Chains A and B, each alone.
Chain A
Amino acid sequence: MNCRSEVLEVTVEARQVEEAMLALLHTILLHRSTGKFHYKKEGTYSIGTVGTLDFDCDFIDFTFVRVSSEELDRVIRKAVSEFKDALSNSGSDGMGQISLEFYQKKKSRWPFSDECIPWEVWSIKVNVVNLANEQERQICREKVGEKLGEKVINVVEVINRHEYLPKMPTQSEVDNVFDTSLKDVQPYLYKITYQITDSLGTSVSTTMRRLIKDTLAL
């Protein structure tokens, strides 16, 4: 199947990177998480409830809604924090990309490991700028807030096109479709990766990853 891929692009100040990424990643995950499944006899299951929480950004004039799950928030924050550190340490122009990929696992026979088949990939391109004075920062605060609002609308439009979603799995298959490790919510299986574009415009890590993938793909 073709994997649906969406790209979002934002231009932010260095201190806004973290919150901008959190806003977009959490908005996507809000739509791609369900309550916990509890399988019962006779092939029925019940679904838990997803709570939501409004989060005010400190460096951006923006509020977003995220899933009310501290565990999930921790995982996302850790990934975003790594991305932010990589971005600031890279010495590049401050361009990078963080990707949120939803995938399904397909069991393969031994000795081959399980295949991960992505069905939706969100790429968020980040462009970091440096601002000279407080007045510009204030304008940036509001502008970035507006831009993030537009991105949320884009996300919502894409998601509501109702294109492919994995079908609801049986109990034995649930770990191939959902991430069941969290206590209170159940997002679709996802992984977050990032890459930093160096000043030459080429992405070093992507090249490496492609090489490795190609080698192992047999």
Chain B
Amino acid sequence: MAAPLSVQVEFGGGAELLFDGVKKHQVTLPGQEEPWDIRNLLVWIKKNLLKERPELFIRGDSVRPGILVLVNDADWELLGELDYQLQDQDSILFISTLHGG
């Protein structure tokens, strides 16, 4: 049983183009049965924020390879990736690396 959470979801490196060009989203996740982890956050994002071409952001139950995920400025690899349990006021940033340099 998860309480409602207030988090900031941010997109960069071009990923924002899939979200109407909006980089920062202040989001309130509703209370629900299942815990709020990144896995469930992605499902929520796909349903509520993603405006177009989901295949460019999500593959399977994770992000498309080439999209970096930072939680409070730390690589999600260090935090358990999809299994990381979100805390209130967390900041989750998705940066796309899929473009020329």
A in complex with B: no
Residues of A within 8 A of B (CB): none
Residues of B within 8 A of A (CB): none
